[in-house]
Chains A and B, each alone.
Chain A
Amino acid sequence: MNTFADQLLVLVMLINFILLGSSRMTVSIRAVALQGVVLGLLPVLINNFSFHLLLISGGIILAKGVVIPWLLFGAMQRVQIKREVEPFIGYVPTLLLGAVTTALAFVFAARLPLAPEHQGLLIIPSSIATLITGFLVLTTRRKAISQVTGYLVLENGIFIFGLLLTEAMPMMVEAGALLDLIVGIFVMGIVINHISREFSSIDTTRLSALKE
C-alpha cells in the first residue's frame, strides 16, 4: 500500500513541474485540481481504513478537485483573463529552479529526525518540494489568479505534511483548514475583481504605482 502512495506522491511532484512549465492558465488550474484529487486519495491509502478518514477524503476531493477549480474558472470568465500566465522569469528558469529545489528537498528530508515508520516514505520530500513550488508560483507569476494557484499549491504542501499526523489530528482541524482555504479563495476572487475593475487588468505589478 505504501509503495502505491509513494507513486501518487511522485505524481504530485510531477504536477508541480507541469505547473511551473505550463503557459496556459486553464492547464495550471486543471493541474491544481488533479493534484487536489490525488492528495484526497492519500489519507485512505496511508492509514487504516475508517469512516472518519473516508469523510475527510471525500471532503478534500470535493473541495480541491471540484469547488475551488469551479470558483477559479468562474473568476477567469468574469474578469475575462487572457489565457497566458505571463511569468516574471521565463518557464525554463522556473522549471530549473523547481528541479533544484526538489533535489534540495530530498537532501533536507534525509536529515530530518523522523519517526521510524515515516523514514522511507516520500511524504517529507514531496511536501517540501510542493511548498517551494507554491512559493515559486506565487512569486514569479504576474497575474493575481496565478498567484491564487500558487497559494493553493502551497496549501497542498502543508496538507502533505499533515498526512503524517492524520492519526492524531482531529477532523475538525482538517475541516477548519479547508474552510479557511475556501474563504481565502473567495476573498482573493473578490480582490481580483476589484483589481480588474480599478485598473482594467489584473496585473499585480500595477498595484505598486500610486498614480498614473
Chain B
Amino acid sequence: MTDLLIHLVLIICMPPLMLGIIGKTKAAFAGRVGAPYLQPYFDLFKLLRKGSVFSSTTTWIFRAGPIITLAATITAALLIPLGNHPSPISFAGDMILFAYLFGLARFFTMAAALDTGSSFEGMGAAREATFSCLVEPTLFFALIVLCRISGSLSLSTMLTHSLVNIWFSAGASLVLLVAGLFIILLAENCRIPFDDPNTHLELTMIHEVMVLDHSGPAFGYILYGAAMKLFILGAFFIHIALPFKTGDHLLDWGIFIISMVALAITIGIVESIMARLRLVRIPQLLVAASILTAFSMLLILR
C-alpha cells in the first residue's frame, strides 16, 4: 500500500523536477546561476491559470490532443515499475501496451498539429512521424532482449528481475542495450543532440513546432506530459543501467530517486557538451541505435 502511494506521488510530483535539474546543470556548465529547481512547476501553475485561445479553423481534435496525450502518458506511468517495486498495473504482454500508449500520445500530438492547418506544424508532424518510425524498432529489440533474459512478458518482472548477474555473464550485450536505450531516451524526449527543447520557431525543430498553437492549460498539459515521458523512459533506462537493489523498501525508493537525479544530471551534461546534430544525421544515429540493440538481441538469443 505504501509502495503504491509512493509510486503515485513520485509519478505526479517528480517529472518537472527532472527538467529543473537538467536546466540547473546546463546553467552550471554555462557559468550562470540558472532558474530555480522548481521553475518547471511555477511554469506549469502559471499556464494552468491562463485562458486559452483556439483558432476557428481547428476542430475537437485540436482540443483533445493534449488531454489524450497526457492521459496516455499517465496510463503508461502506471505500467512501469519504479525502483525495486512492481507497478500498480501489470499483466503478461503489458510491454506492448506500454510501447503503443506512447504511440497513441504521439499520434494525437501529430493529429492536433495537422489540425491547425499550418504548414509549419505539418512539417514538424512529418519529422516526428519519420523519426518515431526509426525509434520503435530499437524499443522493441530492447524489450525482446529483456523478455529473453527474464523469461517473462510483463514489464514488472522484466525490469525488477535481478540484472546484476547478467551484467557479469553477458555484459557486452547489456552495454549495447544501454547505449541504444540512451540514444532513444534522448530522441524520444526531444533533447539535444536530436532536438533543442529551448528553441521555438526554428526550422530545424521537431517537437516544439507541433505544439506552437496550443496555449494556456492545454500547453501546460503538453509540457507536463513531456516531463512525465522523460521520467518514465528514464525509469526504464535506470532499471537496466543501474540495477542496484537492496531488499529494504524505503532504501530502494531512495536509491531510485538518487539514480533518477543522476540521470537528469547526465542528460544535462550531454546537452551542455554536444551540439545539435544536422537533421540529415539524425536518422543515421537512430538506425545505429536500432543496430546496437538488434546486435544485443543477437548475442542474447545465440
Q: Is the CB of B287 within 8 A of A106?
A: no
Q: In the complex, what distance in Å separates the CA atom of A96 from the CA atom of B134?
A: 12
* Shortest Cβ distance from B290 into A: residue: A99
Q: Is the CB of A103 within 8 A of B287?
A: no
Q: In the complex, what distance in Å separates the CA atom of A1 from the CA atom of B295?
A: 22
Q: A10-B299, A92-B284 are in contact. Are A17 and B169 (CB under 8 A)?
A: no
Please, which residues of chain A bring their CB within 8 A of the CB of B283? 92
Q: A91-B284, A106-B302 are in contact. Are A99 and B295 (CB under 8 A)?
A: yes
Q: Is the CB of B298 within 8 A of A102?
A: yes
* Shortest Cβ distance from A7 into B: residue: B172
Interface positions of B from 28 to 66, Cβ below 8 Å from A: none
Q: A13-B295, A99-B294, A103-B294 are in contact. Are A92 and B287 (CB under 8 A)?
A: yes
Q: Is the interface of A mostly helix, strand, loop or mixed?
A: helix
Q: Is the CB of B169 within 8 A of A3?
A: yes
Q: Is the CB of A96 within 8 A of B287?
A: yes
Please, which residues of chain B bring their CB within 8 A of the CB of A7? 171-172
What is the count of residue pairs linking A and B with beta-carbon distances less than 8 angstroms? 39
Partner of B295, one of A21, A91, A92, A102: A102
Q: In the complex, what distance in Å separates the CA atom of A42 from the CA atom of B212?
A: 56
Q: In the complex, what distance in Å separates the CA atom of A13 from the CA atom of B284?
A: 18
Q: Is the CB of B298 within 8 A of A17?
A: no
Q: In the complex, what distance in Å separates the CA atom of A103 from the CA atom of B291?
A: 10
Determine if B17 is an interface residue (Cβ-Cβ < 8 Å): no
Interface positions of A from 92 to 112, Cβ below 8 Å from B: 92, 95-96, 98-99, 102-103, 106, 110
Q: Is the CB of A95 within 8 A of B298?
A: no
Determine if B288 is an interface residue (Cβ-Cβ < 8 Å): yes
* Shortest Cβ distance from A109 into B: residue: B302
Q: List 20 A-B contacts (CB under 8 A).
A: A6-B172, A10-B173, A10-B299, A13-B295, A14-B176, A14-B295, A17-B288, A17-B291, A17-B295, A92-B283, A92-B287, A95-B284, A95-B288, A99-B294, A99-B295, A102-B298, A103-B294, A103-B298, A106-B298, A125-B302
Beyond A95-B288, A110-B302, 19 extra complex contacts between A and B, CB < 8 Å: A7-B172, A10-B172, A10-B176, A10-B299, A11-B172, A14-B176, A14-B295, A17-B291, A21-B284, A92-B283, A92-B284, A98-B291, A99-B291, A99-B294, A99-B295, A102-B295, A103-B294, A103-B298, A106-B302
A-B residue pairs, 10 tightest by C-beta = A10-B172, A99-B291, A7-B172, A92-B287, A106-B298, A92-B284, A91-B284, A95-B287, A103-B298, A21-B288
Q: Which residues of A contact B (CB under 8 A)?
A: 3, 6-7, 10-11, 13-14, 17, 21, 91-92, 95-96, 98-99, 102-103, 106, 110, 125
Q: Which residues of B contact A (CB under 8 A)?
A: 169, 171-173, 176, 283-284, 287-288, 291, 294-295, 298-299, 302
